[in-house]
Each structure stands twice: as C-alpha cells, then as structure tokens.
Amino acid sequence: MAIPWGTIKSLLIFFGPMLLPKAISYYRSFRNKPQVAGVTVRPIPPKALRALLVLAAGAFVFIVRALIPYFSPENIFVRTQSRLQIPTDVLFNRLASLRPDNILTDDDNSLRAKFVNMESRALYLHYGPEALARCPFCTSDDPASYFYYAVPTLLIPHLVNLIILSVATSDFLAGPVGPKWRTTATVLMILGVTIDLSVVSTYNYQANMRINRLEGLDLFFWTSRILRYLGLGALDLLLATLLYLSSTNRAFVTPISAAERVEAITRQLQTAKGRMSAMGIIKNTTMRDEALRERIQTYWQTEGRLMSTALEDREVIEGINDALQNRINIEDITRDAEAYSSSAIPRLEDLAPQTTVG
C-alpha cells in the first residue's frame, strides 16, 4: 500500500527540525573524528590500493555477469514467448525452429523428457535449466532433490567471492588495515549465503502453476541469479569503501593511547636533542680551530661594517621607512617566522604521532 505524499510531507515537517540537527552533528563528528583521535588524513597506501583494485575488479565481474544477458542461462519459455501450460511438443517445436539447423541440443531433449507435468515446469522456473536437464537423481515427486543438486551451483559464486575477500583483506596484499575487516567480511558472507539458501529453499514454486500468461510468471531462478551477483558486487564495493576510509584515516580510526603518545613525543625530543647536540659539536669544533675562529670573526666584523654603511644611506633609510609603513605585512612575516622555526625545531604539541595503531 503506497503512502500518500501528504502524509510523507507532514512527517517531514514534524520530524525534520529534530532529525536534521542530529544528522548535521553526526556528520561533523564523523568528519572530525580523525583529528579527535590524534591522526591526520593521508593518501591511500600502496598496499591498500592493490586491495581496492582487487575488490573493484571482483565487483565489476559480478555486476557484468548479473546485467549482461549473454552470461545468463536461457529461459525457453521467454525465448519462445510461450505460456507455462503450452503443450510440450508445441513448445519444443518452437524451440527447434530457433536452434541451428532446427536440431535440439542434449539439454533440450532432457528437458523435453522432464516436462511431463506442470510440477516439472514450475521447478524449471525455480531451479533453472541445468538442474532440470542434468540432475540424474531428481524427480518432480521429490522437489527437495532439485535443491540438493542446486546447492553446489548456488555456493560457487559465494566461494569465489570469499576467496576475493580473503585475498583483499590479507596482510600481504592490503597491509595492516586489511585483517581488521576480515571478520566483518566473513560474517557478511555467511549472512549472505544463509539468506540465499533460505530464500531458494522456501520459495513457493507452485504459485506459477496458476499463472496463465507469460508476463505474470515469476522467473525466480533468473531474478535470484541477478540479485545474487549484484549482492556480491555490492559487498565487494562496501568492503572497498571500508578499506578506503580506514586506510586513509577518514573513518574507523583507533585513538592513540597515552603511553604511545608519550613514547612518540620522547622519540621526537630525542631526535631534536640529537640535532642540537650535533650543532653544538660543530660550533665547538669551529671555535677550537684558530683558523676557522678567525674566519668567523672576520665575517661578522665585515658584515656589521657593511650593514652599518648601508643603513647610513639616505635612500636606504627612506626605503625601510616606506616599507614599514605601507608594504610589509607584519602578520605574514610572523607566520613565515613561525613556520621556519617549527620546521627547525618542532613544537611540543606537534610531537604526537600521526598514524593509527595497528
């Protein structure tokens, strides 16, 4: 039953003012979570990029197999535009006229032998042509036998996708961010398999036996096949999105513990201390060497004399005054000085680690 547009509009007017601020707040918290956790957004790591390419390729193959009719098994009722109740001889005479040299295939002859009642034809729409034509132990008197035969065929795409997900979430291919999603991928795969088998096993195929028009038939096998492959492709794309968000620190980041922050700051301080010690050693070495010390003193004496001479020039003094009054932006100079000093010696608050844990 369709919901009237007026009802939808009234609900939006009533709940909109309450839900919209919450949605905006959730989006901002989601966007700012990396900064709150002490990490920064980064480009996609090379290993994670390889995993994304594997998942994208798998999704592409599944979607193509779902949407391109060439890869779908033939439905002889649709191919011949026939009702489910059509006489068997008429159905296969029509089918033969569409075959090369008017010769039926072995599967066609097997189906012709199986189409002895409406039950078999309804099972054909339920399990597809392969189960009806090639199952050696299946009979319409025991419909469950067709399900047992179809189970391996139903599981094959799930198993193939499980291999794709296992490779894409391996530490070798995806790096440290891959294994954290392996459990999620496995649970989703198990859930998908369970739903798929449950829907197939509980489908009421006998409802098609009461349909007198081709357009009213429920082509369950072909519809479920499309949904199965689209679902597997969507699962790959979902996992690729999760890998992308976590590998670039855009979401699902792990806050850095206090001990790890202290360790990282200590390591940065030791590095800064090492640089300062190296500068002190160089300065001490320079001052202990008589020739180097004389060269330094001569340089600074010459530099001071040149600067004093330059500052006594009237044009230089006027240029400096003009620049101070009109041209120099003190804020820009201060910002540049801070950037230079920060690059030389990191500030204490910048010493926190910039990567996620694990």
**What average pLDDT does range 157-185 have in this prediction?**
91
Residues 99 and 209 in one domain: yes
**Structural domain includes residue 15:** no
**Residue 43 pLDDT grade (very low, low, confident, very high; cuts 50, 70, 90):** confident
pLDDT tens digits along 210-267: 888 989 999 999 999 999 999 999 999 999 999 998 888 777 766 666 676 678 788 8
**Are the beta carbons of 84 and 208 closer than 8 angstroms?**
yes
In a domain, 193, yes or no: yes
Q: Which of 14-18, 76-80, 290-294, 308-312 has the lowest mean pLDDT?
A: 14-18
Asked whether residue 131 is assigned to any structural domain, the reply reads: yes
Q: What is the pLDDT of residue 330?
A: 66
182: buried, middle or exposed (CB in 10 Å: 19+, 13-18, 0-12)? middle
Whether 9 is in a domain gets the answer no
> Quick one: 231 and 271 in the same domain?
no
Residue of 267, 289, 282, 275 lying closest to 344 (CA atoms): 275
Higher pLDDT, 306 or 38: 306
**Contact in structure between 316 and 234 (CB atoms under 8 Å):** no
Residue type, 176: P
Helix axes 46-67, 220-247, angle to 10 degrees: 170
Do 208 and 84 lie in one domain? The reply is: yes
Residue 78 in tokens: 């649709």
Round to whole Å and give the CA distance between 285 and 293.
Answer: 9
CB 79 within 8 A of CB 98: yes
Q: Which amino acid is at 340?
A: Y
End-of-domain residue from the set 212, 247, 282:
247
What is the rounded average pLDDT of the residues 189-212? 93
Q: Picking from 167-176, 200-209, 245-254, which range would have the lowest pLDDT averaged per residue? A: 245-254
What average pLDDT does the segment 272-277 reach? 84
3-state secondary structure at position 86: coil
| Domain termination site, one of 247, 279, 299 | 247
Residue 112 lies inside a defined structural domain of this protein: yes
Q: What percent of the chain has pLDDT over 70?
A: 81
Overall domain count for the chain? 2
288-313: pLDDT as tens digits: 777 777 888 888 888 888 777 777 77
Look up residue 313 and give its DSSP letter. S
Cα 135 to Cα 114: distance, rounded to the nearest angstrom: 11
Boundary (domain end) residue, out of 182, 212, 247: 247
Residues 116 and 223 in one domain: yes
Tell me: do 60 and 197 sit in the same domain.
yes
C-alpha of 79 from chain center: 38
Do 223 and 271 reside in the same domain of the chain?
no
Same domain for 95 and 46: yes
Q: Is 331 inside any structural domain?
A: yes
Domain co-membership, 200 together with 76: yes
Query: Do 32 and 149 form a contact (C-beta atoms < 8 A)?
Result: no
Q: Are residues 347 and 243 in the same domain?
A: no
Residues 214 and 291 in one domain: no
Same domain? For 212 and 287 the reply is: no
| Per-residue model confidence as pLDDT tens digits over 82-93 | 999 999 999 999
Q: Enter the pTM of the model.
A: 0.68
* Contact between residue 76 and residue 111 where contact means Cβ atoms under 8 Å apart: yes
The residue behind tokens 């230089």 is 316
Give the model's pLDDT for residue 21: 73
Q: Based on the domain organization, do 171 and 277 belong to the same domain?
A: no
- With respect to residue 252, please indicate whether it lies within any of the assigned structural domains: no
306 domain residue, yes or no: yes
Domain region containing 47: 34-247
